[in-house]
Structure 1
Amino acid sequence: MNAPTASPATPAGKAPAAGTTGHGKAGRDLPLAIGVGLGLGGLCLVSLLVVQWGWLLVVTPALLLGSWELCQGLAAGKIRVPALPVLVGAAVMIPAAYLGGPVALMVAFGLTILAVVCWRTTMGLPGAARDIGGGAFVAAYGPFLASFSALMLAEDDGPKRVIAFVLITVCSDIGGYAAGVLAGKHPMAPSVSPKKSWEGFAGSAAACVVAGAITVPLLLHGAWWAGAIVGLAAVLLGTLGDLTESMLKRDLGIKDLGRVLPGHGGLMDRIDSLLLAAPVVWFVLLVLVPVA
């Protein structure tokens, strides 16, 4: 996530008041957040290198937890998501995408939406449209978008594609944080995410483009310019995903969707950039970087 400008509660250039956490501009325990992030990255890397389908063993339970977090978050806004059909759909969509490709993914997603509608209508009509809409949002935002990583994984060089996707997108957070802390002065979307700055976004873009130009030729034997385009797509959609979740949480009146990851919040708070970037990165790689 892009790093912040000065917090409204702490004037620029002044130390936090006595009794505050003193976590600095990040607003969180940075060493703890880095440690958790490295642990997650190591887990993902091991899952991809041991066996090709190992990624599914990590991402499927993660999306079940993330979907549950999102259901609980929407409950704060009086939206009663039909959780059972959503969670069953989350468990099915990612393996379906890996085993059956885009057609199987669309069928699984369509059946999930149908199950949400049928399940909710048995509970009565008052508020049904709102709750069905919430269920469709959870199914689409979490498991459906994440399933595009399974489509990448299904290729012959699938593990390398997923590694490239995750590395490039994570560089958006790293570059944005560094640039925002060092030079963040101009808020990007103060009404949605006051901590984001245009300087941070520039850092995200530079880091993603450079990472793509290096990673795609190195791992996938593609052209450097194709990698740069992948990086640009990742930063644009990753930033949009981050802002989308910030807007959702602000509308619901909550700070984080969960607390399962110390220093980060909920699982969805950590993977929001990856979710929206996944379909676009999958498509760009499919078109510009043929399977070796």
Structure 2
Amino acid sequence: MSADPATPADPPRSSRAGRNLPMALAVGLGLGGVIIAALLVYRQLFVVIVAAAVVTSVWELHQTLSKARGIRLTWVPLAVGAAATVVLAWPYGHTAQGLGVALTVLACMGWRFGRGADGYLADVAASSFVAVYLGLFASFATMMVAPPDGPGRILTFLIMVVASDTAGYAAGVLFGKHPMAPTISPKKSWEGFAGSVTGAMIGGALCLSLLLHGSWWHGLISGLVVAVVATGGDLAESLIKRDIGVKDMGTLLPGHGGIMDRMDSLLPSAVVTWLLLSVFVPIA
């Protein structure tokens, strides 16, 4: 009797989203641990982490857009300008944000002269978009961590976004039947969105009352808004990736894709969370 044919090794376990779920969870927990440690030990380290994530995301976008569409970001001035906007928002606030974006765009326009007229508008437009999307949006995280209660504000921001993503994923897997945006992200469902809203509202209520000594109902409002914005940010990046024909923006984070793939819901949420907390928990 001949030997049984060799059985191929089992493929890595993946979720319904097509990811290696155990690896994704391990990487996510590791990143969360690094961020919490930075907030507790030395708040400025958090700003350094955000700036490093922004620079890495600029590089990922530069590589992806160049290969997929022939769009070449002026990545050197873009990375420097975006990182400077993030870092300088600590001491200089809105002045650093406005001048940072304006000077970054000007530098990108001039830097691009060397490659001639062919594709100039597309390259500069994409670079300007990234200066706002990464540099400006991420700098609102710096604005949140700068006050004395900054660690609590950042934890509130992160917990609401993570709760939105996690509860939305769980609800979508368990109960998802009605597609939310089938032409953009087929796996997103209205049931998943309801889970996102519920998770973010619970997280917001707990964080505002326990971490920031605010009103729990302000936390409910904040969670609702963040869930809507985080979902919109996720859909917007899905549109960008569909437009250029890629699944992920990078491969740096196993189970997640690239750094940019983890920033989609965080970036716009940073803007609205800063605004909401400024209103509901004014800085003394």
Quickly name the TM-score band, shorter chain normalised.
Answer: over 0.9
Q: Is the 8 A contact 1:71 1:138 kept in 2?
A: no
Match of 1:56 among 33, 47, 55: 47
Match of 1:65 among 56, 66, 70: 56
Letter in 1 for 2:36: L
Percent sequence identity is 49
Match of 1:182 among 169, 174, 180: 174
Q: Where does residue 149 of structure 2 map in the other structure?
A: 157
* Structure 1 range deviating more: 29-38 or 73-82: 73-82
Alignment of 1:99-114 (within 5 A): 99-114=91-106
Q: Per-residue deviation at 1:22?
A: 5.2
Match of 2:203 among 211, 218, 233: 211
Q: Where does residue 119 of structure 1 map in the other structure?
A: 111
CA 1:154–1:211: 2 relative to 1, 3 Å: same
Q: Per-residue deviation at 1:208?
A: 0.3
Q: Is the 8 A contact 2:13 2:21 kept in 1?
A: no
Q: Is the 8 A contact 1:74 1:134 kept in 2?
A: no
CA RMSD of aligned residues (A): 1.4
Q: Per-residue deviation at 1:123?
A: 2.2
Q: Where does residue 5 of structure 1 map in the other structure?
A: none
CA deviation vs aligned residue, 1:123-160 (integer Å, no higher than 9, x gap): 21221111100101111111211110000111121111
Letter in 1 for 2:95: V
| 4+ runs deviating over 3 angstroms | 18-22
Q: How does the TM-score come out when normalised to structure 2? A: 0.93
Alignment of 1:13-24 (within 5 A): 23-24=14-15
Q: Per-residue deviation at 1:274?
A: 0.5
Corresponding residue SS for 1:81:
coil
Unaligned ranges ≥5, structure 1: 1-17
Q: Where does residue 28 of structure 1 map in the other structure?
A: 19
Alignment of 1:228-239 (within 5 A): 228-239=220-231
Q: Is the 8 A contact 1:98 1:150 kept in 2?
A: yes
Find the aligned partners of 1:282 and 1:216 in 2 and give their Cα distance.
13
Q: Per-residue deviation at 1:281?
A: 0.7
CA 1:55–1:103: 2 relative to 1, 3 Å: same
Q: Is the 8 A contact 1:175 1:207 kept in 2?
A: yes
Find the aligned partners of 2:183 and 2:11 in 1 and give their Cα distance.
24
Find the aligned partners of 2:132 and 2:63 in 1 and give their Cα distance.
16
Letter in 2 for 1:288: F
Q: Per-residue deviation at 1:282?
A: 0.2
Q: Per-residue deviation at 1:19?
A: 7.8
CA deviation vs aligned residue, 1:24-61 (integer Å, no higher than 9, x gap): 41311111111110000000000111012121121111
Q: Where does residue 241 of structure 1 map in the other structure?
A: 233
Find the aligned partners of 1:33 and 1:20 in 2 and give their Cα distance.
15
Letter in 2 for 1:93: T
Is residue 258 of structure 1 aligned with residue 250 of structure 2? yes
Q: Where does residue 15 of structure 1 map in the other structure?
A: none
Q: How does the TM-score come out when normalised to structure 1? A: 0.91
Letter in 2 for 1:272: D
CA 1:21–1:49: 2 relative to 1, 3 Å: closer
Q: Is the 8 A contact 1:241 1:276 kept in 2?
A: yes
Q: Where does residue 148 of structure 1 map in the other structure?
A: 140
Find the aligned partners of 1:43 and 1:19 in 2 and give their Cα distance.
32
Q: Is the 8 A contact 2:179 2:187 kept in 1?
A: yes
Is residue 276 of structure 1 aligned with residue 235 of structure 2? no
Number of aligned pairs? 275
Unaligned ranges ≥5, structure 2: 1-8
Greater gyration radius: 2
